[in-house]
């Protein structure tokens, strides 16, 4: 493969001149440019990005690490939407996305640091904030550009993140159900170790309290984002009889689908007897029967915003003030929810 020296020799100029022609920044005479370009063409020359990266200390790459060990991670719309947003924002800025795998939740942080400290990427977007590992603290200590998708723990005020308005949106959904006459509303959260789960639960509590309703602890369950988790939640709550919920809010659509299935298996009509609302507006939401009412979370937009902010940070010479962006969710009303039975 031809190098900059080969081109220089062929064009009869100094290698630095070839470099200048390709970087496009310095003024080079029209004539020299022509000579260099035709020599480059003749030799099939393309600058070596690795050598360039070493020299300028910039890779034009942002990273993300993905717990590939969890099959279910690839069933949800979360992952593809995140990738879509990252790519759509990175592409026009001439950035690529480096994806690292990870073996476990704890390994996510190991891999993140390996990529960052070995300079394989200029910065990272961290897409899964868990409460059991202090990713943020470690990242801050490292002094490398990063942006979070999802809020950090409260004591990290000066960190850049983008999130959906989880607490408020969840509260709105619950309030919506309350307006439809529901009083006994179930909260089926995802993984309690994930920060967003807590935010949603607070939204739920706030809405209930705001309406002067008290909730019973048996209306709260965690389904770990799996369809089976939703199914089990229903089976645990149905025995409450007259105290069983008339509406379920689930933190993703997969769990909502499990809830629908459990209800169907128990001959409970949706939405006539019980309402169900999911989250994410995944592909299956429109395909289940009845079509799922769901809280649409703009993951692709969030990822695109995160990538844009990250690249801004990378390109800036000085540290940038932290920015926090909160994107709104939208309730998509379909046919799985409605007024409480008379």
In whole angstroms, what is the distance from residue 230 CA to residue 22 CA?
A: 57
Whole-Å CA distances, 62 to 44, 90, 147, 164, 341: 28, 8, 11, 22, 51
Q: E strand or H helix at 81, and its extent?
A: helix 78-90
Among DNA, a copy of itself, none, partner that 266 touches (CB below 5 to 8 angstroms by kind): none
Residues 180 and 340 sit within 8 Å (Cβ to Cβ): yes
| Shortest separation between residue 319's beta carbon and a copy of itself, angstroms | 16
Residue 149, helix vs strand vs coil:
strand
| Binding residue for a copy of itself, selected from 283, 315, 316, 326, defined by CB under 8 A | 283
| Shortest separation between residue 40's beta carbon and DNA, angstroms | 10
Q: Which of 8, 62 has the CB closer to a copy of itself?
A: 62
In whole angstroms, what is the distance from residue 216 CA to residue 242 CA?
A: 13
| Shortest separation between residue 121's beta carbon and DNA, angstroms | 15
Quickly count: other Cβ atoms within 10 Å of residue 221's Cβ. 20
**Taking CB under 7 A as the criterion, which residues in 42-71 touch DNA?**
45, 47-48, 51-52, 54-57
Q: Which of 254, 340 has the CB closer to a copy of itself?
A: 254
**Site map 15..34 versus DNA, x via CB under 7 A:** xxx-xx-xx-xxxxx-xx--
| Shortest separation between residue 10's beta carbon and DNA, angstroms | 13
| Binding residue for a copy of itself, selected from 32, 53, 175, 324, defined by CB under 8 A | 53
Within 8 A by CB and 6+ apart from 140, the residues are 156, 159
Backbone φ/ψ region at 77: left (φ over 0), alpha (ψ -120 to 50), beta: alpha
| Shortest separation between residue 292's beta carbon and a copy of itself, angstroms | 9
Sign of CA dihedral 81, 169, 205, 149: positive
Instruction: Give yes or no for residue 289 binding a copy of itself (CB under 8 A).
Output: yes
Q: Which of 34, 286 has the CB closer to DNA?
A: 34
**Taking CB under 8 A as the criterion, which residues in 188-247 touch a copy of itself?**
none
Among DNA, a copy of itself, none, partner that 59 touches (CB below 5 to 8 angstroms by kind): a copy of itself
**Residue 53: HSE in the Cβ half-sphere, 13 Å Cα cutoff:** 13
**Taking CB under 8 A as the criterion, which residues in 97-116 touch a copy of itself?**
97-103, 114-115
Structure letter (DSSP) for residue 268:
-
Q: Which of 4, 207 has the CB closer to a copy of itself?
A: 4
Closest CA to 186 of 230, 146, 120: 230
| DSSP β-bridge partners for residue 249 | 187, 277
Pick the stretch among 76-84, 124-132, 236-244, 271-279 that binds a copy of itself (CB under 8 A): 76-84
Whole-Å CA distances, 163 to 2, 123, 325, 327: 46, 18, 6, 6
Among DNA, a copy of itself, none, partner that 31 touches (CB below 5 to 8 angstroms by kind): DNA
In whole angstroms, what is the distance from residue 205 CA to residue 255 CA?
A: 20
Instruction: Give yes or no for residue 37 binding a copy of itself (CB under 8 A).
Output: no
Which residues lie near a copy of itself (CB under 8 A)? 1, 46-51, 53-54, 59, 61, 66, 68-69, 71, 73-75, 77, 79-81, 83-84, 87-88, 90-91, 96-103, 114-115, 117-120, 257, 282-284, 287-289, 300
* Residues making contact with DNA (CB under 7 A): 1, 3-5, 12-17, 19-20, 22-23, 25-29, 31-32, 45, 47-48, 51-52, 54-57
């Amino acid at each position: 493969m031809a190098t900059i020296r080969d081109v220089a020799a062929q064009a009869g100029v100094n290698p630095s001149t070839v470099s200048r022609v390709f970087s496009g920044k310095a003024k080079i005479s029209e004539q020299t440019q022509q000579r260099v370009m035709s020599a480059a063409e003749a030799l099939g020359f393309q600058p070596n990005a690795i050598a360039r990266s070493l020299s300028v200390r910039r890779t034009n790459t942002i990273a993300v690490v993905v717990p590939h060990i969890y099959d279910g991670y690839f069933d949800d719309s979360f992952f593809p939407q995140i990738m879509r947003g990252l790519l759509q924002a990175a592409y026009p800025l001439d950035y690529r996305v480096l994806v690292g795998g990870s073996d476990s939740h704890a390994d996510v942080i190991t891999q993140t640091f390996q990529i960052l400290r070995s300079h394989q990427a200029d910065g990272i977007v961290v897409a899964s904030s868990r409460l059991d590992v202090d990713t943020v603290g470690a990242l801050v200590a490292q002094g490398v550009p990063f942006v979070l998708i999802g809020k950090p723990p409260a004591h990290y005020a000066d960190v850049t993140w983008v999130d959906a308005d989880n607490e408020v949106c969840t509260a709105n959904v619950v309030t919506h159900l309350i307006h439809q006459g529901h009083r006994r509303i179930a909260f089926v959260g995802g993984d309690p170790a994930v920060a967003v789960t807590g935010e949603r639960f607070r939204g739920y509590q706030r809405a209930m309290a705001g309406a002067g309703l008290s909730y019973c602890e048996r209306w709260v369950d965690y389904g770990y984002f799996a369809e089976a988790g939703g199914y089990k939640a229903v089976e645990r709550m149905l025995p409450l009889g007259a105290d069983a919920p008339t509406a379920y809010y689930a933190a993703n659509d997969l769990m909502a689908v499990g809830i629908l299935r459990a209800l169907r298996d128990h001959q409970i009509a949706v939405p006539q007897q019980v309402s169900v609302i999911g989250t994410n507006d995944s592909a299956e939401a429109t395909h289940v029967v009845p079509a799922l009412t769901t809280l649409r979370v703009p993951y692709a937009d969030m990822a695109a915003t995160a990538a844009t902010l990250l690249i801004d940070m990378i390109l800036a010479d000085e540290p940038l003030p932290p920015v926090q962006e909160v994107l709104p969710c939208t309730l998509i009303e379909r046919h799985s929810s409605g007024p409480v039975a008379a």
